[in-house]
Amino acid sequence: MKWEDFDRDDTKPAKEWPFTKTNIQCPRCGEEVYLDSSKVLTTYPVKYAYQCKSCGWVGYSHNSWGGGLYDITP
């Protein structure tokens, strides 16, 4: 693939695709927050970005949301 094909302007904007809905409640409004995979803080250990699309709250956590894979429900 040529760089010109890769870097075309008609590709989907980055702000539309990096968000994954989680089952984590927003501390401000209670709606479910999204994991923003386009932002990772390079702290040690790393921090992951979370955002609420309802009220605009943004938070960072050392915990990466695993899609409920680690939830234990009776």
Task: For the chain, 74 residues long, give each residue's pLDDT as a single digit of tens.
Answer: 677 766 666 655 545 568 899 999 999 999 999 999 888 899 999 999 999 999 999 999 999 887 654 444 43
Tokens of 54: 């309802």
Cα separation, 14 vs 44, whole angstroms = 26
- The pLDDT score that the predictor gives to residue 54 is 95
Cα separation, 37 vs 66, whole angstroms = 12
- The pLDDT score that the predictor gives to residue 49 is 94
> In the beta sheet, which residues pair with residue 32?
25
Residue 45, CA distances (Å) to 5, 21, 41, 62 in order = 36, 23, 9, 7
